[in-house]
């Protein structure tokens, strides 16, 4: 086995230099099994990228936040998003796996990435560039030397997520996340197949017109070729259509309204699943 060089930079500048010839090490849950193909790993833990804060109307989660940290950040992360972190991996893995690692290593079966796309997540790169999560996923594999420092999304977010899997704890065969943030239209995301969860613009347009049937048909069509060893395309297309129609119906009846932090009273049972993080700063 080739000896592995391990470095642990203490600053972003140092990390960027070392990433020119090494692989970023978040929690290592994806990287470690590839150990034989690695020469140098750059452990990001010394960079102070594990803070989670709500500031200026945004949730800003450091790239090094663990998935478990997101779950334990009571009041900062909306409940539905925290739930998708829980679905991402078991407790042991969630304590190691980082937010950036989960996004960069994801395939279509990632509940968390489907949810982050639905709430309009953005990635911040070292150097200051901010890009939509959609674009970050399209850029994978990232060019050598790229360092994600944080992920962010608007604090006033609303999310609905449903999945069908072999067991309640398994990864989805079909997942649907529908979300929106203050002032935005609904984003409809399908997961459970392929290289990454995908947005379905036609379903989004139909939902904006409250045309649930067309939203459902657009989702089914988006998965019309989505067959693999886990499920046939016919099955996925059908389930995607059903889940979109179900979640969209909840939204159209008012259960998916975005609320401000002070608007907590008088919720309908459906609305009770929404909540908005309070303006909070600091580590979790």
Ligand X SMILES: Cc1cc2nc3c(=O)[nH]c(=O)nc-3n(C[C@H](O)[C@H](O)[C@H](O)COP(=O)(O)OP(=O)(O)OC[C@H]3O[C@@H](n4cnc5c(N)ncnc54)[C@H](O)[C@@H]3O)c2cc1C
Min CB(88)–ligand X separation in Å: 5
Q: Based on CB atoms, which residue is closest to ligand X, 99 or 219?
A: 99
Among 9, 27, 179, 256, binds ligand X (CB under 6 A): 27
Member of 109, 122, 186, 187 binding ligand X (CB under 6 A): 109
Is 147 one of the binding residues for ligand X (CB under 6 A)? Answer: yes
Q: Per CB under 6 A, which region of 17-25, 154-162, 215-223, 246-254 contacts ligand X?
A: 17-25
Distance CA 11, CA 48 (A): 9
Q: Are 224 and 198 a contacting pair, CB within 8 Å?
A: no
28 lies in the binding site for ligand X (CB under 6 A):
yes
Q: Is 24 in the site for ligand X (CB under 6 A)?
A: yes
Minimal distance, residue 2 CB to ligand X, in Å: 17
End-to-end CA distance of the chain, in Å? Answer: 39
Question: Taking the C-alpha atoms of 24, 29, 31 and 33 in order, what is their torsion angle to the nearest 10 degrees?
Answer: 160
Contacts (CB under 6 A) with ligand X, residues 184-223? none
Beta strands in 128-221 (DSSP E): 130-132, 148-154, 157-164, 174-181, 187-191, 198-199
Q: How far is the CB of 172 from ligand X (least distance, A)?
A: 9
Report which of 171, 170, 258, 160 is spatially closest to residue 215, judged by C-alpha positions: 160
Judged by CB under 6 A, the residue of 9, 18, 29, 271 near ligand X is: 29
Token representation of residue 108: 């279509």
Q: Is 116 in the site for ligand X (CB under 6 A)?
A: no
Residue 164 interacts with ligand X (CB under 6 A)? Answer: no
Q: Could you give the CA distance from residue 55 to residue 53 in angstroms, rounded to a whole number?
A: 6
Range 135-155 burial, b when 16+ CB lie within 10 A, else e = ebbeeeeeeeebbbbbbbbbb
Note the residues at the interface with ligand X (CB under 6 A): 23-31, 44, 63, 88-89, 93, 96-98, 100-102, 104-107, 109-110, 146-148, 171
């Amino acid at each position: 086995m080739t000896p592995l060089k391990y470095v642990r930079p203490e600053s972003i500048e140092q990390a960027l230099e070392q990433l020119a010839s090494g692989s970023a090490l978040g929690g290592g849950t994806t990287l470690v099994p590839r150990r034989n193909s690695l020469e140098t790993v750059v452990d990001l833990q010394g960079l102070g990228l594990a803070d989670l804060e709500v500031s200026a109307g945004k949730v800003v989660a450091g790239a090094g936040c663990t998935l478990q940290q997101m779950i334990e950040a009571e009041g900062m992360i909306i409940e539905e998003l925290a739930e998708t972190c829980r679905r991402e991996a078991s407790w042991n893995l969630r304590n190691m796996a980082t937010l950036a690692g989960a996004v960069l290593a994801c395939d279509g079966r990632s509940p968390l990435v489907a949810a982050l796309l639905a709430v309009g997540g953005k990635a911040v790169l070292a150097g200051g560039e901010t890009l939509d999560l959609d674009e970050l996923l399209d850029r994978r594999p990232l060019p050598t030397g790229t360092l994600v420092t944080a992920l962010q999304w608007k604090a006033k977010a609303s999310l609905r997520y449903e999945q069908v899997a072999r067991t309640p704890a398994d990864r989805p065969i079909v997942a649907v996340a529908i979300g929106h943030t203050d002032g935005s239209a609904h984003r409809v995301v399908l997961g459970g197949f392929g290289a990454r969860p995908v947005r379905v613009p036609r379903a989004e347009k139909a939902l904006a017109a409250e045309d649930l049937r067309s939203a459902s048909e657009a989702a089914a069509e988006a998965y019309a070729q989505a067959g693999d060893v886990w499920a046939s395309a016919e099955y996925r297309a059908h389930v995607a259509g059903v889940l979109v129609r179900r979640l969209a119906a909840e939204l159209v009846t008012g259960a998916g309204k975005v609320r401000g932090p002070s608007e907590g009273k008088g919720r309908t049972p459906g609305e009770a699943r929404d909540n908005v993080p309070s303006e909070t700063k600091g580590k979790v």
